[in-house]
Amino acid sequence: MASTALPRHVLVVGSGGREHALVLALRNSPARPRVSCAPGNAGIAQHATCFSVAADNVSGLVELARREHVDFVVVGPEVPLSLGLADALQAAGIAVYGPTADGARLEASKTFTKRLLLKYAIPTAAAGFFTELDSALAYVRTRPIPIVIKADGLAAGKGVVVAATLTEAESAVRDMLAGNKYGAAGSQILIEDCLVGEETSILVVVSGRDYVVLPTSQDHKRIGDGDTGPNTGGMGTYSPADIVTPDLLAQIERDIVQPSVNAIADEGMAFCGTLFIGVMLTAHGPSVLEYNTRFGDPETQVVLPRLESDLLDLLWRAAQGSLAGYTLRVKSAHAVCVVIAARGYPDAYPRGDVIQLPTTIPGGVAILHAGTARDQDGNFTTNGGRVLGVTAIAPTLEKAAADAYAVCAAIECRSKYYRRDIGARQLHRR
């Protein structure tokens, strides 16, 4: 029988900006739960008790949850889900928000998802599946350019190449199948026709066949201004994405969201967690690019601040199977997140550079930590490719962007790098 009382102790698993945003939102619940994080980071440690248990240490996380009398676990990253963390927690009698390993295959294997999309006639690009180099190269040479090459498995958001020429496409195929660029993740690849249009991120809280669609957002994947350079895990985002009009959102829900949720259930997966649907808005209508099975990063950093509803209540209802009839309340404000990365990301980048944060920041702005640590003098230092996310919420997109960029400029770090055009596409469209 589902419990209606909200949990008193919540454990967030992960160490990035997404998890920092989750920690802050859960702490702001009217239920005032104790919030812990494993492993967390230097910034998260200011708002939650952090435990040095790695996100992929399934047995260690279960033991931590038992020892600390955790009532509810919210899993941030994809890797522990694919390793069966939700399964292990459920077996230990601990409530969890995040799909079992069976459901996590929707992100852990791009070919698994593509076959499901094709089986249930959910709009998506034509594709081929390959493990052998020669047959993959032969296929590429028959398809229109540009073309998309995807490693099947998890590659930290970087296993996708949009090849602008046949030479680039052939090189990407060789890198994955013969060059072992992504290890086992690239031993099987997916080659897709390239969809043209604007992309939007649709985050859906799912509990079986019940679901709640969260506010829309638009991510910026490429490292450079004007969407140039290689793909990253995400360099910034904004919400709402005005290009997704109410009519278009209704179409996406009708043609993509509901059929996706039902297809997952029809396949026998008892899915509880966030279904992140990457959607391309093409001239022929919205089409699915991919599924992820967790909150997006950095989409979470702009979506959660716009919720008037209690995030803890929403996720707990999903975990308890009592999501039916839920009504989400959303603020009318706009939010922007600008990611500050270490220069060189997504390739080689330095660690250990000192970060000096401004002593005061405007109201409505939060500095969310991702790849940070503390040195022996207590200074924040860089400890990852994506280091910080500066999120601002304001009545207009223009104000939110201005506030976020003012704080970005005030942050001092030798290797800091950030895009200067987050939200510009929507501002120019206006």
For the segment 356-380, the average pLDDT, to the nearest whole number, is 97
For the segment 203-225, the average pLDDT, to the nearest whole number, is 97
Fold for 9-100, please state it: Rossmann fold (3.40.50)
Pick one of 3.40.50.10680, 3.40.50.1100, 3.30.1490.20, 3.30.230.10 as the CATH number of 132-187. Answer: 3.30.1490.20
Please give the share of the chain, as a percent, with pLDDT higher than 90: 91
Please check the confidence at residue 271 and state whether its pLDDT lies above 50: yes
Nearest alpha carbon to residue 192 among 251, 118, 106, 132:
118
Please check the confidence at residue 257 and state whether its pLDDT lies above 70: yes
Quote the pLDDT of residue 368. Answer: 98
| Rounded distance between C-alpha atoms, residue 385 and residue 366, angstroms | 19
Sheet of 9-14: strands edge to edge? 49-50, 34-39, 9-14, 72-75, 95-97
What value does the mean pLDDT of the chain take? 95
> Angle of helix 101-108 relative to helix 110-119, nearest 10 degrees?
90
How many CA atoms within 13 Å lie on the side-chain side of 395? 0
| Rounded distance between C-alpha atoms, residue 297 and residue 301, angstroms | 7
Q: What single DSSP character describes residue 157?
A: T
| Rounded distance between C-alpha atoms, residue 355 and residue 342, angstroms | 11
| Rounded distance between C-alpha atoms, residue 92 and residue 395, angstroms | 45
Q: CATH classification of 197-320 is 3.30.1280.10, yes or no?
A: no
For the segment 301-307, the average pLDDT, to the nearest whole number, is 98
Least confident of 179-183, 356-360, 399-403: 179-183
Please check the confidence at residue 364 and state whether its pLDDT lies above 70: yes
For the segment 302-327, the average pLDDT, to the nearest whole number, is 98
DSSP-derived 3-state class of residue 119: helix
How many CA atoms within 13 Å lie on the side-chain side of 306? 30
Please check the confidence at residue 156 and state whether its pLDDT lies above 80: no
Q: How many CB atoms lie within 10 A of CB 94?
A: 19
Quote the pLDDT of residue 3. Answer: 57
Quote the pLDDT of residue 1. Answer: 39
Q: What Cα–Cα distance (Å) separates residue 8 from each residue in 71, 93, 151, 336?
A: 7, 16, 40, 31
Please check the confidence at residue 298 and state whether its pLDDT lies above 80: yes
| Rounded distance between C-alpha atoms, residue 98 and residue 318, angstroms | 10
Quote the pLDDT of residue 158. Answer: 64
Strand 372-374, strand 334-346: pairing: unpaired
Q: How many CB atoms lie within 10 A of CB 166?
A: 15
Cα Rg for the chain, rounded, in angstroms? 21
Amino acid at the residue 47: H
Quote the pLDDT of residue 69. Answer: 98
How many CA atoms within 13 Å lie on the side-chain side of 12? 33
pTM of the model: 0.94
The second-level CATH assignment, the architecture, of 334-429 is: Alpha-Beta Complex (3.90)
Per-residue pLDDT tens over the stretch 26-85: 999 999 999 999 999 999 999 999 999 999 999 999 999 999 999 999 999 999 999 999
DSSP-derived 3-state class of residue 240: coil
Using alpha carbons only, give the angle 410, 411, 414 rounded to the nearest 5 degrees.
125
Domain residue spans in the chain?
A: 9-100, 132-187, 197-320, 334-429
Query: Which two three-digit tokens encode residue 148?
Result: 């998309």
DSSP labels, 126-153: -EEEESSHHHHHHHHTTS-SSEEEEESS
Please check the confidence at residue 413 and state whether its pLDDT lies above 50: yes
